[in-house]
Amino acid sequence: MDFSHLLADRTHKMGASAIREILKVVSQPGMVSLAGGIPAPESFPMDIMGELAEKVIAKYGPQAFQYDFTEGFPPFREALVPHLQRKGICTTAEEILIASGSQGALDAIAKVLVSKGDKIAVEAPTYLGALQAFAPYEPTYVKMDTDDEGLIPECLERVLAANTVKLIYLVPTFQNPTGRTLPVERRKQIAEIIQRNRALLIEDDPYSALRYRGEAVPPIRSFAPENVIYLTTLSKVFAPGLRLGVCVAPPDIRRWIVVVKQGVDLHTSTFNQALAAEYLSGGYITRQLPKILAIYGPRQEAMLNALAVHFPEKFSWSKPEGGMFLWAEGPKGLDIEPLYWKAIENKVAFVPGRYFYTEPGEGLSTMRLNYTMCDEATIEGAIGVLGGVLNGALGTRPGRGA
């Protein structure tokens, strides 16, 4: 029976996803994928998972398997206080909400705040998963320009002056897709702008722990705690399959997130929260994080070196101090998408950057490259293949470092 006439208005608009279509080929056998945004399985603390499970079962018994508070499992919320403190987030267990991944928090925030047609200000380019969480609530987007240091504060100022903006969404550290990090000065400017405009900002921070070089930058929330909903996740420092997101929000927003989340999934898995509580409070994370960095750091370096060797001179790319992605940009006028298909023929996948923009026609010459899922030799080979495709298209020879 055909039930398509029953679909809600919002559903028709969610429609076919162009990126989902083009990425279908990524799972073909033999494909080397720089397209994903997935932590390496070898970064998971598999050697202690059994021990953590045993500990949780012994310590909490059936409580770890029972229905629990929508706000989150209290021992996990407690364990997050010092963890967040180390990230520059001063808060209490009561102020912390647990979500089913950051995705769950993004969904709940949009459900609480966004009416049809409301404006969300986003970086250009921005994180696709956030757009996917927001889409069912039918917002419109106002794009804010970025440069090598992320969001340009003056652009935020202009956007807030010219629009009634419901919500600002940023990934300030090792951004997805660009890898860029907002310097502390810009963070302070942005904090001042949102305070003065009484604006509300989502600071989405999944990657800041993945720092391979340089100094940590304080979160925007540390400069404007009342105007920021801060999100982070255990997906990149523990295990993404456990679906554990963390949200610190101003009290009158937080209250509604709880009401909304109760309707969505009652609460996030108690057992998984208990595992994470032990992982944090037992100090396991302190031992695991250096291992994770020791896997990703050399992969990033391998990619940066290979880009210098193989990519055309006319390309530039980000050189982030951490995270999971690099962002490469070719000469204006170059359309990367046909070259995506050429790369696929040569068994290398990436994501054409245009898909991270809310407006069509932008970012045509850009590409996102992930380096967490492949070892150094594979990355070197894959960038070689991509360099060949790009040089072929431009009629040039490999770049600067060659």
Residues numbered 152 to 181 that lie near a copy of itself (CB under 8 A) are 166-167
Which amino acid, one-letter code, is at 244?
Answer: L
Helices 101-113 and 251-265 sit at what angle, rounded to 10 degrees? 110
Which amino acid, one-letter code, is at 369?
Answer: L
φ/ψ of 34, rounded to 5, equals -105, 15
Q: Are strands 348-349 and 245-248 parallel, antiparallel or unpaired?
A: unpaired
Q: Which is nearer to a copy of itself, 164 or 332 (CB)?
A: 164
Q: Which is nearer to a copy of itself, 82 or 117 (CB)?
A: 117
CB of 166 to a copy of itself, least distance (A): 6
- Tell which phi-psi region holds residue 117, choosing left (phi > 0), alpha (psi between -120 and 50) or beta: left
Q: Is the peptide bond before 125 cis (omega within 30 degrees of 0)?
A: yes
Using the rule CB under 8 A, is 100 a contact of a copy of itself? yes
Using the rule CB under 8 A, is 31 a contact of a copy of itself? no
Using the rule CB under 8 A, is 35 a contact of a copy of itself? no
Which span sits near a copy of itself by CB under 8 A: 212-220, 245-253, 319-327, 391-399? 245-253
Residues numbered 58 to 77 that lie near a copy of itself (CB under 8 A) are 61-68
Residues numbered 261 to 320 that lie near a copy of itself (CB under 8 A) are 262-272
Using the rule CB under 8 A, is 101 a contact of a copy of itself? yes
Q: Which is nearer to a copy of itself, 50 or 395 (CB)?
A: 50
| Residue 124 near residue 362, CB atoms below 8 Å | yes
Site string for a copy of itself, 102-131 (x = CB under 8 A): -xx--x---xxxxx--x----------x--
Size of the site for a copy of itself (CB under 8 A): 77
* From candidates 33, 176, 227, 232, binder to a copy of itself by CB under 8 A: 227
Distance set, CA 173 to CA 206, 216, 276, 361, 397 (Å): 8, 9, 23, 26, 33
Using the rule CB under 8 A, is 253 a contact of a copy of itself? yes
Q: Are strands 325-329 and 316-317 parallel, antiparallel or unpaired?
A: antiparallel
Nearest CA to 249 among 109, 381, 126?
109
Name the β-bridge partners of 154: none
* From candidates 87, 243, 354, 368, binder to a copy of itself by CB under 8 A: 243
* From candidates 17, 140, 163, 286, binder to a copy of itself by CB under 8 A: 17
Using the rule CB under 8 A, is 402 a contact of a copy of itself? no
* From candidates 141, 155, 216, 256, binder to a copy of itself by CB under 8 A: 256
Q: Which is nearer to a copy of itself, 64 or 289 (CB)?
A: 64
Which span sits near a copy of itself by CB under 8 A: 6-14, 185-193, 306-314, 374-382? 6-14
| Residue 352 near residue 340, CB atoms below 8 Å | yes
Using the rule CB under 8 A, is 133 a contact of a copy of itself? yes
Which spans in 249-402 are helix H?
A: 251-265, 270-281, 284-310, 336-345, 376-394
